Chain A
Amino acid sequence: NAGVMQNPRHLVRRRGQEARLRCSPMKGHSHVYWYRQLPEEGLKFMVYLQKENIIDESGMPKERFSAEFPKEGPSILRIQQVVRGDSAAYFCASSPQVDQPQHFGDGTRLSIL
């Protein structure tokens, strides 16, 4: 029973490029959450999705960031025209129901040159 799978584990992009981060939730989990962690800080909520629906994107910057969770395939967090300030660890979590503990992946560490 695989846990939450994120890939890639490390991603390096130059300023202005696009970053695509993938997350496959645990089997049977239909609720997906994305968080961002800056160095020496705790995780900050970005977005909550269910299959094909964005439920809450209040923690996600309005520009350049988007997220999806299609009917088939993993959830994708997309960052367009990346800037140095986007450098962080991005974590995905999933849960079977919204009020159940969230299970986290190992994250994608994004570095912007």
Chain B
Amino acid sequence: SQQGEEDPQALSIQEGENATMNCSYKTSINNLQWYRQNSGRGLVHLILIRSNEREKHSGRLRVTLDTSKKSSSLLITASRAADTASYFCATVLRSNDYKLSFGAGTTVTVRA
């Protein structure tokens, strides 16, 4: 089974609204990463948050990590049509580990 699982599977919002998606995982991790995938393209790395961090920001993105609940959230503020994409969380179990374990993703549609 997948290590990371995103929720919801799909999200449709109006431009300017915030989008929040969650990721739950099963085992202890070294870090958790969020990626974006536009239709027909590869994955673009967004943010990496380590197990000893609780929150990170990058532009309009805010990621939280709760290791006690084994969950993370990605918030996109003031969404734009260009944010329409699938978003994946991926976990890395140990430091110097290279295997990314991906969830099935959240498909976000931003309506103009």
Is A56 a contact partner of B98 (Cβ separation < 8 A)?
yes
Is B2 a contact partner of A91 (Cβ separation < 8 A)?
no
B-side interface residues, number (CB < 8 Å): 24
A-side interface residues, number (CB < 8 Å): 26
**Majority SS at the chain B contact face:** loop
Is B98 a contact partner of A31 (Cβ separation < 8 A)?
yes
The answer, yes or no, to whether B85 is at the interface (CB within 8 Å) is: no
Known: A40-B104, A45-B100, A101-B48. A106 touches B42 (CB 8 A): yes
Sample (22) of A-B pairs whose CB atoms are under 8 Å apart:
A6-B42, A33-B100, A35-B100, A35-B102, A43-B88, A44-B102, A45-B101, A56-B98, A56-B99, A59-B99, A93-B43, A99-B96, A99-B97, A99-B98, A101-B45, A102-B45, A102-B98, A102-B100, A104-B43, A106-B41, A106-B42, A107-B41
